[in-house]
Amino acid sequence: MNQSNWKHGITVAVYPGSFDPVTNGHLDIIHRAAKVFDKLIVAVLNNSSKNPLFTVEERVELLRQVTKDVPNVEIDSFRDLLVNYLKSRDVHVVVRGLRAVSDFELELQMASMNKKLHSEMETFFMTSNPTYSYLSSSIVKEIARFHGPVTDLVPDEVEQALKRKFGSNP
């Protein structure tokens, strides 16, 4: 295994996802992974098959705002296969969050395929804080769409962005 980014004790990992929008669950994984790795690249996937609420640029900006207090976090985006992005950044480690057993099956399948496509890649699974095990971006968007409270689900910056998208409700 090529350990080019491990040689000098510098470990770099990528935490990929749609982050549409970033939730407190995502932030929990970001903060915890940033303690484990010297550098964490949070990479926003530009998935053309999905119809996102926020543009890639908006998601990147929201992530930059909510991680500004974490010095070893970098925000980036990609539109290709994850393995191609990893190769372009010379990174071999991926962080994935698991909320429930149901997440594990899909994540294991993706990790196995990614490993087949990029043999030097390693996937680290982090279980979510039980406080956020029910939380997903889809649920947040659905609540916000109908002007429900999302205060405990997302950072303030994201709550304000959701109110702008769906119109504010007092």
Which member of 26, 59, 92, 141 is catalytic?
A: 26
The answer to whether the CB of 15 falls within 8 A of the CB of 90 is no
Residue ranges of the annotated binding site are: 18-19, 26, 50, 82, 96-99, 107, 132-138
**What does the alpha-carbon distance between residue 144 and residue 166 come to, in Å, rounded to a whole number?**
7
68 annotated active-site: no
Which member of 59, 128, 137, 141 is catalytic?
A: 137
168 annotated active-site: no
Which member of 4, 50, 79, 116 is catalytic?
A: 50
Residue ranges of the annotated binding site for ATP are: 18-19, 26, 97-99, 107, 132-138
Picking from 26, 43, 60, 65, the residue whose alpha carbon sits closest to that of residue 157 is 65
31 annotated active-site: no
**What does the alpha-carbon distance between residue 75 and residue 54 come to, in Å, rounded to a whole number?**
16
Residue ranges of the annotated binding site for substrate are: 18, 50, 82, 96
**What does the alpha-carbon distance between residue 165 and residue 87 come to, in Å, rounded to a whole number?**
35
**What does the alpha-carbon distance between residue 162 and residue 156 come to, in Å, rounded to a whole number?**
10
- Secondary structure of 45-62 as H, E, C letters: ECCCCCCCCCCHHHHHHH
118 annotated active-site: no
Which member of 31, 64, 99, 163 is catalytic?
A: 99
The answer to whether the CB of 17 falls within 8 A of the CB of 105 is no
Match 């969050």 to its residue by tokens: 97
Q: Catalytic positions, please?
A: 26, 50, 99, 137
